[in-house]
């Protein structure tokens, strides 16, 4: 049974600000990279670590952070994570060297991992059941809104106050979020476990770091690189060791028996593919709009923001539908809409207008909205009280891995298809528009194919869940 909070509005507001900040800082920094090259007189390869250090730490620690919340108490760890994120943001703004900025971003990632891992778990734990759908809808919308406004807000802050402002802006928001969460959760006694699997956490962190490094290198070196293949092989071996260890310890980081729940497993797996689709659509479309349609950077930024804004707005529609219909069926419908959006992308042409792109992107993101809100509700609703932290962490990890994998693998696939389609074998930067169009269409056919498989996986989870319920 959920423990009720007296001020659920304060709690939702505090969690929303924190989730918005952590999502914002995933995308806002991309805008400042060229400025950092000039400011610190360094290479573009070096400033990329300002982005990578954050992503690596978040993805590596997010499951462990969720489990640690189950062990020592979610409120205590969440406040600590918010404080860490806020202090690290100030340190980023004060950085005098690129090394200090990278280290501060890694520390910021520690705080973000805790915030991302525990936000939904805290909502599920303490918000009354009659308000949980509305609350989860708002929190889910904050994820998309952070990604949507990041580039635009970042550009405005840099123009008006300089690059340090994109980090300093987090400080007042972070302090406000801490105040709201502490006011809403003053003195609840939480159920806690006695032990924490530090070895499992370390091995999973190493596994995820190895995998993410492999994904990052795929874009630069291609699939056939010996280093990439070695890292992928190492990550598979490390994952096998992690699973073997988890099956043999008394208090594992991840209870493997939770994956016997088909609905939970298929929902988590579907999330990886769905967010991969989303990231692919954003990255590939930026190339198409720039090289084929000749759009300016400002036009591209506005066009790409249509998607996340659609997800944010339709997320509230998804919340209303989840009250009236079974969330698991809405989730499958959402994936189906994304499939049609991908199919529509295969008909993009050089003569298409701004509107022609926006409605296609809105289809993909509208499908995402119908998927992610019901998916979050189902997964968190099914989690046991002592596993909500780690399950919330797994949800966030699936989102991160999907985005990283989609960006790396499908970008590499697109690049190879461009070379193949080009009469002179030119790469993306110099290929003729017809080659880019051909490769764009072929890549979206590939994405559409694996999204059809994703829909089948999600439907299988729904069918198995209905069979289990009818047997009870």
Q: What is the DSSP string of 213-266?
A: HHHHHHHHH-TT-HHHHHHHHHHHHHHHHHHHHHTT-SS-SS-GGGGG-HHHHH
Q: For the chain, what is the mean pLDDT?
A: 82
Give pLDDT, residue 271: 85
Are 203 and 61 spatial neighbours (Cβ–Cβ below 8 Å)?
Answer: no
- Convert the pLDDT of each residue in 350-370 to its tens digit: 777 778 888 898 899 899 888
> From the CB of residue 312, how many other CB atoms can be counted at a distance below 10 Å?
21
**Residue 471 pLDDT level (bands cut at 50, 70, 90):** low
Provide the percentage of residues in the chain whose pLDDT is more than 70: 90
Taking residues 308-328, what's their average pLDDT?
79
Q: Which of 74, 158, 89 is nearest to 386 (CA)?
A: 74
Give pLDDT, residue 4: 59
Taking residues 17-29, what's their average pLDDT?
82
Are 240 and 194 spatial neighbours (Cβ–Cβ below 8 Å)?
Answer: no
- Convert the pLDDT of each residue in 403-461 to its tens digit: 778 777 877 788 788 888 887 777 776 778 888 889 889 999 999 999 999 998 888 87
Provide the percentage of residues in the chain whose pLDDT is more than 90: 19
The more confident residue out of 464 and 406 is: 406
98 pLDDT exceeds 50?
yes
Give pLDDT, residue 448: 93
User: Is the dihedral angle over the CA atoms 269, 272, 276, 278 positive or is it negative?
Assistant: positive
Taking residues 367-386, what's their average pLDDT?
78
Give pLDDT, residue 193: 56
Count of all residues that appear for the chain in the document: 472
Tell me the range of 12-21, 26-35, 327-336 where mean pLDDT is highest.
12-21
Give pLDDT, residue 1: 42
82 pLDDT exceeds 50?
yes
């Amino acid at each position: 049974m959920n423990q009720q909070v007296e001020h659920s509005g304060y709690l939702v507001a505090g969690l929303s600000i924190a989730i918005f900040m952590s999502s914002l800082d995933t995308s806002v920094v991309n805008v400042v990279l060229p400025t950092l090259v000039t400011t610190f007189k360094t290479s573009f390869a070096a400033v990329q670590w300002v982005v990578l250090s954050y992503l690596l730490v978040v993805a590596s620690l997010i499951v462990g952070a969720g489990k640690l919340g189950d062990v020592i108490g979610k409120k205590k760890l969440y406040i600590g994570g918010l404080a860490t994120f806020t202090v690290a943001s100030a340190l980023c703004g004060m950085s005098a060297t690129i090394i200090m900025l990278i280290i501060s971003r890694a520390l910021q990632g520690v705080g973000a991992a805790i915030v991302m891992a525990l936000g939904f778990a805290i909502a599920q734990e303490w918000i009354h059941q009659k308000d949980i759908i509305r609350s989860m809808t708002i929190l889910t919308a904050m994820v998309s809104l952070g990604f949507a406004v990041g580039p635009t807000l970042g550009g405005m802050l840099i123009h008006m106050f300089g690059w340090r402002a994109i980090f300093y802006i987090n400080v007042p928001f972070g302090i406000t979020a801490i105040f709201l969460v502490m006011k809403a959760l003053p003195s609840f006694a939480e159920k806690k476990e006695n032990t924490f699997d530090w070895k499992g956490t370390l091995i999973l962190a190493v596994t995820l770091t190895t995998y993410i490094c492999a994904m990052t290198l795929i874009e630069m070196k291609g699939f056939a690189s010996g280093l990439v293949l070695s890292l992928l092989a190492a990550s598979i071996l490390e994952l096998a060791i992690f699973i073997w260890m988890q099956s043999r310890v008394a208090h594992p980081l991840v209870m493997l028996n939770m994956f016997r729940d088909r609905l939970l497993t298929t929902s988590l797996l579907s999330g990886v593919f769905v967010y991969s689709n989303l990231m692919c659509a954003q990255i590939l479309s930026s190339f198409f709009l720039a090289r084929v349609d000749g759009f300016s950077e400002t036009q591209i930024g506005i066009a790409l923001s249509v998607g996340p804004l659609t997800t944010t707005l339709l997320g509230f529609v998804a919340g209303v539908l989840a009250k009236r219909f079974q969330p698991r069926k809405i989730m499958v419908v959402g994936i189906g809409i994304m499939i049609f959006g991908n199919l529509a992308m295969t008909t993009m042409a050089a003569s298409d207008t701004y509107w022609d792109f926006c409605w296609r992107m809105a289809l993909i993101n509208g499908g995402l909205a119908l998927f992610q809100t019901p998916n979050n509700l189902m997964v968190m609703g099914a989690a046991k009280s002592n596993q909500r932290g780690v399950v919330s962490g797994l949800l966030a990890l699936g989102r991160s891995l999907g985005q990283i994998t989609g960006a790396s693998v499908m970008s590499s696939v697109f690049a190879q298809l461009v070379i193949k389609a080009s009469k002179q074998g030119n790469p993306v930067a110099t290929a003729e528009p017809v080659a880019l169009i051909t490769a764009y269409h072929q890549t979206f056919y590939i994405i559409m194919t694996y999204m059809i498989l994703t829909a089948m996986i999600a439907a299988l989870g729904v069918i198995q869940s209905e069979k289990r319920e009818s047997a009870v």
